[in-house]
Amino acid sequence: MRLIRGLTNLKRLSERADSPLADGCVATIGNFDGVHLGHKTIIEQVKEKALVLGVPSVVMIFEPQPREFFQGGEAPPRLMPFRQKFEALLAEGIDMVLCIRFDDTFRSYSAMGFVEDVLIKGLAVRHMVVGDDFRFGCDRAGDFRLLEQVGQEHSFTVENTRTVTVDGERVSSTRVRNALNVNGLEEAERLLGHPYRIHGRIVYGRQLGRQIGAPTANILLDQMPALRGVYVVRARPEGGDWLDGIANIGLRPTIDGKRPSLEVHLFGFAGTLYGQHLDVVFRHGLRNEVKFDSIDDLRQQIARDFEHARAWLADNPAGPTN
């Protein structure tokens, strides 16, 4: 799968004689946060049509996500970071991901300017899959109907996305987020089609965990996570085996953490993981994140957390998590 970053690179690609977009593409647009069951259905629509037309399948996403641009710290927490989203789209068999930087310049694009520069000149789109409530362009002036009208003039077609429901309600990133917010891991799994997980690169931390007898692999998060607290997890380092563990995700209030992070302690692991990527699957919530009066109080609570995690694992063993 090819990643195209930005409109400049899209323009360069489209102008090449051997461009994979020479015969056009089938595209969809969205945040695809979480790549849940609804997203997977849209992807299947795109792939099916692309196969019929013999052209690449394309997913267009934005960084930052539009609500993050407009709302800043008040935006809803992400379900997955960009790299994990890209890898999830890769796993679903998409041919290309176009990632457009959402900034003041892009937000000022008129609806017709977006259609002409991005969809027609850039992607040479032959078929679009979008929801009938899809809006785009400056002041959200563009909609599904406009795409249909322009498509008739420029020989591309537009198809509505299929709705996916679970328990009679539409599957959405907001619904997954709401489930995680109340520690509903089982519901989130049903909406996602797999257990909730975070994948990230391990960085050097403050070594506090090592000092209090609980060394952790630390992953810094760019946005506030949808989950907060202490969890039983199953994790796998790059090229390694799945291991049981315990994780804290949040702001680490006891040490006045300023940036959200995921700290994972792997039971029985004594190696070094710095610089590697770690895949972390959340299995069971133990408690909320709490600010303790002292590091010694934190150490005592961690010992209790370990005991509770091992007791839960004894009753709920798990095999590999693919």
22-52 residue pLDDT tens? 999 999 999 999 999 999 999 999 999 999 9
- Return the pLDDT at 254: 58
Q: How far apart are CA 276 and CA 42, in angstroms?
A: 32
Alpha-carbon distances of 241 from 87, 96, 126, 248, 273, rounded to whole Å: 19, 30, 44, 21, 13
Measured CA to CA, the distance from residue 182 to residue 189 in angstroms comes to 14
**Amino acid found at 204:** Y
Q: What is the structure's pLDDT at 170?
A: 95
- Residue with the bigger pLDDT between 277 and 320: it is 277
Q: What percent of the chain has pLDDT over 70?
A: 94
Percentage of residues in the chain with pLDDT exceeding 90? Answer: 75
Token pair 């498509």 in the structure block, residue: 151
- What backbone torsions phi and psi does residue 166 show, to the nearest 5 degrees? -130, 125
d(CA 235, CA 197): 9
Q: Torsions phi, psi of 135, nearest 5?
A: -130, 145
Report all structural domains of the chain as residue ranges with CATH numbers, in order of start: 2-162 (3.40.50.620), 195-315 (2.40.30.30)
Mean pLDDT in residue range 248-275: 82
Is the predicted pLDDT of residue 207 greater than 70, yes or no?
no
Neighbour order of strands in the sheet with 157-160: 2-5, 96-101, 57-63, 25-29, 125-130, 157-160
pLDDT in tens, 170-202: 999 999 999 999 999 999 999 999 999 999 999
| pLDDT value of residue 290 | 85
- pLDDT for res 89: 96
- Judged against a pLDDT cut of 60, whether residue 319 lies above it is answered with yes
Residue of 264, 203, 270, 276 lying closest to 234 (CA atoms): 264
What b/e readout covers 137-169, taking b as 16+ CB neighbours within 10 angstroms?
A: beeeebbbebbeebbeeeebbbbebeebeeeee
d(CA 117, CA 101): 15
What the block records as the tokens of 322 is 């693919």
Q: Is the pTM of this model over 0.85?
A: yes
Give the pLDDT score at 238: 87
Q: What is the mean pLDDT of residues 81-86?
A: 93
